[in-house]
Structure 1
Amino acid sequence: MSTANDIRQTFFQECDELLEALDDGLNEIDDGISDDTFSIDTINAVFRAVHSIKGGAAAFGLDALVHFAHQFETVLDAMRAGDLRPNEESMKVCHRAADHLNDLVAAGRENRTLPGDSGGDLAARLASLVSATSPSADAGESEPTFDFVPLGVAVSPITIETGPTTFDIRFKPARALYASGNDSALLLRELGELGAVSVEAETGRLPEFDLLDPAEAYIAWELTLTTDESERAVREVFEFVEGMCELDISVASRAEANGAQTVPIQLAPQAPTQAETGSTRGGGNNGAPREKTSDSDGPKATVRVNLDLVDRLINMVGELVINQAVLTQCVKDAGLLDRGDLSTSLAEFRNLARDIQESVMAIRAQSVKPLFQRMARIVREAAELSGKETEFVTEGETTEVDKTIIERLVDPLTHMIRNAVDHGLETPEDRIAAGKPATGRVTLSAAHRSGRVLIEVSDDGAGINRPKVFQIAVDKGLIPPDVQLKESEIDNLLFLPGFSTASQVSNLSGRGVGMDVVRSAIQKLGGRVSIQSQRGKGTTMSISLPLTLAVLDGMVVDVAGQTMVVPITAIVETLRPKPGDIHPLGADNLVVSVRNKLVPVIDLGVVFGHRTAPAAISDMVVLLVESDNHTSWALAVDQIFDQRQVVIKGLESNYGHVPGVAAATILGDGNIALIIDPEETAHRSGAVIDPGDLALLDEV
């Protein structure tokens, strides 16, 4: 049986899903404001998400969360009733309310409370939205409360207040209702929020205590509800338990005072039901129709698994891959590879290990959508602090990345987003003077490219002021004043510790801590970050990351007697160049002609110090690799051993970052091989040649 902590944890996990649905719904409403195309179903879905969070929070005594959700819910209820028309101003308040709701959920999860004045001004703004449409509305009105009456005790009908329409309701739960985690008490409490309710419990089916089955549903309920709401609203209370109860709702005559004895009832807080928390059966699903729960056409079954168990499984799969490589090497050394049956079995073992690895990695893969939604809040806060009008656009939200990578991307992306708003975008006045729209645009995108994940933060601002960046670096003593730097080298000055272009310290920037932290964090993930900027048109910052931190396909090569691994996803092709295809460029550089295109050549043996002078390129094998921004290099190696799947072993925790080296791996013979980062290796070698020089040589 689940413990209270397990149920609480499940509630907060479902809150994450509901908050995601809430953010999606608000964005959909935003998109439809200008042309009045937003759907009432979307508003209903947003309302249900907030309502479900509120209901679950009440079960755990999270009063601050319940009260704020109730205020937020009142505004959304006015929207779905047509009393409040969504506009830019009201949606800004709703987005801020969603952010604060997120904070309250996080505080509840961590058993802490927010500062006493937190959310006070926001609650007042929510109340003002409702009061503007209905002078009698009160966003902070109290909710009905009840005193608990033990099961088996006859309950006299109660009347809380009168209303214009009265419904007679008979509600008889089935065993399946409780088995699925629902609770009649919470459903009755939700009815109490609609208006005046009278409740009678039918306890005639209760057996003797010794014969009581805790999982059985013995009690039925006769209710009289007087409310301003429609019958549809009343039925919505029970929509998540459809098929798990007997329900009869009929419209009675207008209610009249009957002098019945008033008995206050409090329904004891219980675990959140799936109706309250928006489970996979329906709630908080962007207004989609509720899916059936039968085995034939129901939603796919899911199970929550401790992440530590998944990590352990991934490590075991890594060891399985290493074991497969060791076994293959042993068979090869014994000269038994010519045996057909043995060779076939080894191939099947290798394929099985790969299939298991891919399946396990799919368990950890998650879309970047929740991460992007968090960044939307950062944009709103940064825009408000800087006084800039900002539009936030996301692309590729469904791109899947390893969960560990997503979690460790939050801080780097936060820095980049804030820099894009604070440093990248101009003020509305400056944008208008430059012939741009007053509202700036920040775009966050993600995509799979060449076996890696490429995440970009772009703005349509003024671009990097390179003379100013150069001068600041000189004034701070970061570079000598007489040094000659290319544009790309000036851009990279932004990554130096202590560098900042802000003229004064603010809540957003100016302390010289930011982009160096970004680069360090990305390098620890085996990735890299780069900048591209065009003066007057904007800046794009790119993060390139491995799809996973566990296993990759690599080309095992010989470099001056050392075994190294080049990621196969970066290799476009392999070739043996002829002497006539190789050309000198300057005093130290060589380029190779590949289909009338000149590509810089890098001797890996020289770059990593395994030989002092370059070998004859015509006697070597060249690996043509391409970077994320489509820049090409030719990596020269002595020979190619094999192409195989290798297990990634990070160096950061035990050794530190090595320029040009992404990680290490254990080979089948037990030796350790370094996995190189082709792009960083090219920068380390100094082979990053200006494209203009290559174009000039092409013309010659």
Structure 2
Amino acid sequence: MEDLSRFKQTYFDESAELLAVAESGLLNLTPGAFDLDEVNAIFRAVHSIKGGGGAFGFNDLVAFAHEFETVMDGVRNATIPVTTELVDTLIRANDVLGQMLAYAREGADAPAGTTDAVVAKLRRFLDGGPAHAAPAAAPEPTPTAPVYPDDEDDEAGIFGDAMAAIEAARTAEKPPVPEGKVRWTIVFRPKADLLLSGNEPTFMLRALRRLGEAEIVCEDDRLPALLDLDAEQLHLSWTVTLVADPDVDRARIDDVFEFVADECDIRISAEAPPPAVTAPPPAAEVPPPAAEPAAVAAPSPPPVAAAPKKGNGGEHAGLTSHTIRVDLDKIDRLVNMVGEMVITQAMIAEHVRELPPGEFQELLEGLEQLAQHTRELRESVMSIRAQPVSSVFSRMPRLVRELATETGKEVVLVTSGETTEVDKTVVENLVDPLTHMIRNSIDHGLETPDERERVGKPRAGTVHLSAQHRSGRIVIEVADDGRGINRARVLSKAIEKGLVPAGSNLSDEEIDNLIFLPGFSTADKVSNISGRGVGMDVVRRNISSLGGRIGVYSTPGEGSRFVLSLPLTLAVLDGMVISVGEERFVLPLTNIVESLRPKPADLHGLVGRCEVMMARGEYVRLVHLHQLFGIPGAVTDATKALVVLVETEDGSRLGLVVDEVLGQQQVVIKSLEANFRRLDGVAAATILGDGRVALILDAAGLREMSKHTDSSGFGRPPAALPAPELATV
């Protein structure tokens, strides 16, 4: 029973992946022009789910998947034309198949009528399919139609005449193999219970016909008398003579029977064109001895025998899988253990620094090797958890399609950077924010097709979804070419809802950030898409919980751009430990450009604003951390302290004034929000080698805090909004 549960779990995991493959293919299915390979991929996905379901006895699931794959078989055989209505129905069928899998996973029966509506629609396409191929609406129109024995004249279950005809056909002299072709003989004898596993022999015979010219003979030698006939058992077998091009090899024929190889007796042999076609002239010039003709004739079969060499499992016996499925909990435990190793290694290194110089060299060398191995182990574990964002991006075309239909707008989704990798935990928490932002872009940002035409834009609006690595973080952008943010309307709505005081004088950036306030919405009425004022607030809250930020940039009439900045991993990072007074902080190494001690001539003050420093030919804002966090006992003179230049993900630079740089160290990230609460300018916390808790600083957050700091250095957020509302944007 335990083993069966394990196999079921594998089946459900694979089915989830197959559903995603099917949905991706269906979203790319367009009337008039579609990729047959994608259609075949959809068919195989549904067929695989059906086959596995039959093995576990999920009869309702198998019955529905059979209807689904039958329609897909009609699509790939061009008997059912691809229309928008068909694609919509197939997408809905894929959803229902997912529901059936969910019920099967829970061990529950699907409610009565779950599949009825979709099955009815699928059958209407099946009924209407032949009407689109009017001239050949009868039996399977194809120039290579199979030849079945006519057994309607047999009486009382006597099939002697039919069997004699089959045997005669088999022993009759075959016509020569056409030049440039290979003739394959395939004997396909399924086991009696093949149908119970959800497999359909007709699909395999059709697949063989697509490989070349096929003559199919049905053999009914196992057919019992009518009184003994079991409708759920398969009593027929087939012999197929396939004449195909040389590129149709044994592997392609084996692929046809991929799902039923263990449930059938399949014999495949090949016959190539006679090699004697070019051989006779030289043979005729040299008179051979009497026994020579037999010796010449004997070698002729090798080309025929060589064809099947690829099959029968001989060459596949050595194939092994290069991937394994590992439970995510095991990987999480491994990550936690690596984190503990990093902390322990840092503690040992801290104590070793107290040893007398020049002593215990072997111990020091061993610790250096340990540090190197720990780093390599950490990087390997992080790479295991890393996943491309394509798993999230692939869900968005479906969302865009549905929103375009609901809003009556024409929308084109463009994606880039799908292969960008990020920690699995981050990936899992991206779905909701991206969904809300895309809904916002389509509903509020994009104009209707007629409006776009009036202002000289294409009727179809574009939403661009992109991802890239930048400064040790992942940056995801959602941009549209719509109308942009109507700042006057946003401000008036915020005042109307009491979110900001009347008469507030806000900058464009502050007005744009109002859309993230709880309860804010510019919609005049509540709809299924928007109007309740919870979407963008949820986005900011979810992003902040991951140690990330969200920014909005808009140009009226040209569009808006939402930028998410998130850490690549939530586990371990390389950092630089700095001191400010008695406090210790960690700066992510990827943010640091350089550290330097400025000269008095390099420092300049902007009256009532801030202090800047000339560094590498550009002015950089200086931020005194002791002022920002109210730390006593720190070095206040920048010329006697150190300035650490850091770069944020948008390319802007900041000079952090610190007392001292203590050194580089791997640190384990501990969520501050989960264990305490969110702090402005702080991304997370960690435990240093001496056991002290240090805060991991957020460079972009420090920049935002410094903007709301007066010349005396103490924070003074604008009166219009409380500090926490602006500091997270």
TM range (shorter): 0.7 to 0.9
Contact (CA 8 Å) 2:635, 2:658: kept in 1 or not?
Answer: no
SS in structure 2 opposite 1:591?
strand
- How many residue pairs get aligned? The number is 598
Contact (CA 8 Å) 2:581, 2:635: kept in 1 or not?
Answer: no
The answer for the alignment partner of 2:43 in structure 1 is 47
Q: 1:425 to 1:109 in 2, by over 3 A?
A: farther
1:351 partner amino acid: Q
Q: 1:109 to 1:630 in 2, by over 3 A?
A: farther
Gaps of 5+ in 2: 134-156, 170-184, 206-217, 224-233, 271-309, 711-729
The answer for the alignment partner of 2:546 in structure 1 is 525
CA–CA distance in structure 2, aligned partners of residues 328 and 614 of structure 1 = 27
Name which of 200, 205, 209 aligns with 1:190. Answer: 200
The answer for the alignment partner of 2:80 in structure 1 is 84
How far apart are residue 292 of structure 1 and its match?
A: 8.7
Q: 1:158 to 1:43 in 2, by over 3 A?
A: farther
1:134 lines up with 2:130 in the alignment: yes
What is the TM-score of this pair, normalised by structure 1? 0.77
1:656 lines up with 2:677 in the alignment: yes
Contact (CA 8 Å) 1:665, 1:672: kept in 2 or not?
Answer: yes
Q: 1:613 to 1:326 in 2, by over 3 A?
A: closer
The answer for the alignment partner of 2:475 in structure 1 is 454
SS in structure 1 opposite 2:444?
helix
Contact (CA 8 Å) 2:682, 2:697: kept in 1 or not?
Answer: yes
What is the TM-score of this pair, normalised by structure 2? 0.74
1:559 lines up with 2:568 in the alignment: no
Report percent identity of matched pairs.
45
Name which of 602, 609, 616 aligns with 1:595. Answer: 616
Contact (CA 8 Å) 1:172, 1:245: kept in 2 or not?
Answer: yes
The answer for the alignment partner of 2:425 in structure 1 is 404
SS in structure 2 opposite 1:617?
coil
Contact (CA 8 Å) 1:331, 1:337: kept in 2 or not?
Answer: no
Which one is further off, 64-73 or 7-16?
Answer: 64-73
1:75 partner amino acid: V
2:258 partner amino acid: E
Which one is further off, 42-51 or 466-475?
Answer: 42-51
CA–CA distance in structure 2, aligned partners of residues 243 and 226 of structure 1 = 18
Higher RCO, 1 or 2 (CA under 8 Å, sep at least 6)? 1
Q: Deviations over 1:638-687 (max 9, x none)?
A: 11000111111112222111111111111111111110111112212226
1:25 lines up with 2:21 in the alignment: no
CA–CA distance in structure 1, aligned partners of residues 581 and 339 of structure 2 = 28
CA–CA distance in structure 2, aligned partners of residues 526 and 197 of structure 1 = 68
Name which of 676, 681, 686 aligns with 2:702. Answer: 681
How far apart are residue 505 of structure 1 and its match?
A: 0.6
Q: Deviations over 1:271-325 (max 9, x none)?
A: xxxxxxxxxxxxxxxxxx9999968974643222222121111111111011111
Contact (CA 8 Å) 1:187, 1:237: kept in 2 or not?
Answer: no
Contact (CA 8 Å) 1:555, 1:567: kept in 2 or not?
Answer: yes
Q: 1:559 to 1:116 in 2, by over 3 A?
A: farther
Which one is further off, 627-636 or 293-302?
Answer: 293-302
CA–CA distance in structure 2, aligned partners of residues 357 and 509 of structure 1 = 43
2:610 partner amino acid: N
1:238 lines up with 2:257 in the alignment: yes
How far apart are residue 126 of structure 1 and its match?
A: 3.8
2:20 partner amino acid: E
Contact (CA 8 Å) 2:480, 2:559: kept in 1 or not?
Answer: yes
The answer for the alignment partner of 1:57 in structure 2 is 53
CA–CA distance in structure 2, aligned partners of residues 378 and 654 of structure 1 = 35
1:191 partner amino acid: P
How far apart are residue 20 of structure 1 and its match?
A: 2.8
The answer for the alignment partner of 1:4 in structure 2 is 4
How far apart are residue 246 of structure 1 and its match?
A: 5.6
1:573 lines up with 2:594 in the alignment: yes
SS in structure 2 opposite 1:503?
coil
How far apart are residue 522 of structure 1 and its match?
A: 1.0
Contact (CA 8 Å) 1:567, 1:675: kept in 2 or not?
Answer: yes
1:311 lines up with 2:332 in the alignment: yes
How far apart are residue 82 of structure 1 and its match?
A: 2.1
SS in structure 2 opposite 1:418?
helix
Q: 1:632 to 1:654 in 2, by over 3 A?
A: same
Which one is further off, 640-649 or 91-100?
Answer: 91-100
Name which of 386, 403, 407 aligns with 1:386. Answer: 407
Aligned pairs for 1:479-558 (under 5 A) are 479-558=500-579
1:15 lines up with 2:15 in the alignment: yes
Contact (CA 8 Å) 1:394, 1:444: kept in 2 or not?
Answer: yes
SS in structure 1 opposite 2:69?
helix
SS in structure 2 opposite 1:3?
helix
Aligned pairs for 1:352-371 (under 5 A) are 352-371=373-392
The answer for the alignment partner of 1:437 in structure 2 is 458
Name which of 338, 346, 359 aligns with 1:325. Answer: 346
Which one is further off, 433-442 or 668-677?
Answer: 433-442
Contact (CA 8 Å) 2:388, 2:419: kept in 1 or not?
Answer: yes
Contact (CA 8 Å) 1:573, 1:625: kept in 2 or not?
Answer: yes
CA–CA distance in structure 2, aligned partners of residues 28 and 381 of structure 1 = 14
1:72 lines up with 2:77 in the alignment: no
Contact (CA 8 Å) 1:22, 1:46: kept in 2 or not?
Answer: yes
2:16 partner amino acid: D
2:80 partner amino acid: L
CA–CA distance in structure 2, aligned partners of residues 117 and 418 of structure 1 = 31
Contact (CA 8 Å) 1:20, 1:370: kept in 2 or not?
Answer: no
Q: 1:244 to 1:117 in 2, by over 3 A?
A: closer
Q: Deviations over 1:333-361 (max 9, x none)?
A: 12356643332211110010011111111
Gaps of 5+ in 1: 138-156, 174-182, 202-220, 252-288, 690-700
Q: CA RMSD in A?
A: 3.9
CA–CA distance in structure 2, aligned partners of residues 508 and 612 of structure 1 = 54
How far apart are residue 500 of structure 1 and its match?
A: 0.9
SS in structure 2 opposite 1:653?
helix
1:433 partner amino acid: R
